[in-house]
Amino acid sequence: MKRPLKYLLIFEIIVFGVLIGNYFLEKETEFDYYSKYYRVKVKELSDSDYGWYYEIYRGDDLLIKQENIPGVSGNQHFKSNAEAKKIAVLVVQKLERKIIPNITMQELDSCNIEFKK
């Protein structure tokens, strides 16, 4: 009778370890991009507006919430998750190099971001 209890205890420890590991893995994947100091989340806009936007965090603090395509006139939104992520990563790279994170139309063109000029 001792042996089945020992196996049951080992099984419970393994299951508990898998559950804890899964919790931390899911927490890690909440963000779409990580750098040394910054994290990026890309989200879809609400039902009334079609498009995507990004948020940049430093630690747990929201640093930038960009709902419109930066550097263009009007209220234009990113057409896809990938477009928003490309520009968010570019902004993070500028922040890491301590450059003002302005985005130019040339940078948008080079990243193949669709927008009206």
Q: Structural domain boundaries of the chain? A: 1-30, 33-110
Q: Rounded to the nearest 5 degrees, what angle is found at the Cα of 47, between the Cα atoms of 43 and 49?
A: 80
- Name the token pair of 104: 């130019």
pLDDT at 88 over 70: yes
The 10s digit of each residue's pLDDT in 14-66 is 766 666 655 555 444 467 888 889 999 999 988 667 899 999 999 889 999 99
b/e sequence 65-98, b meaning 16+ C-beta within 10 Å: ebbbbbebeeeebbeeeebbbbbbbbbbeebeee
Residue 54 contacts residue 40 (beta carbons within 8 Å):
yes
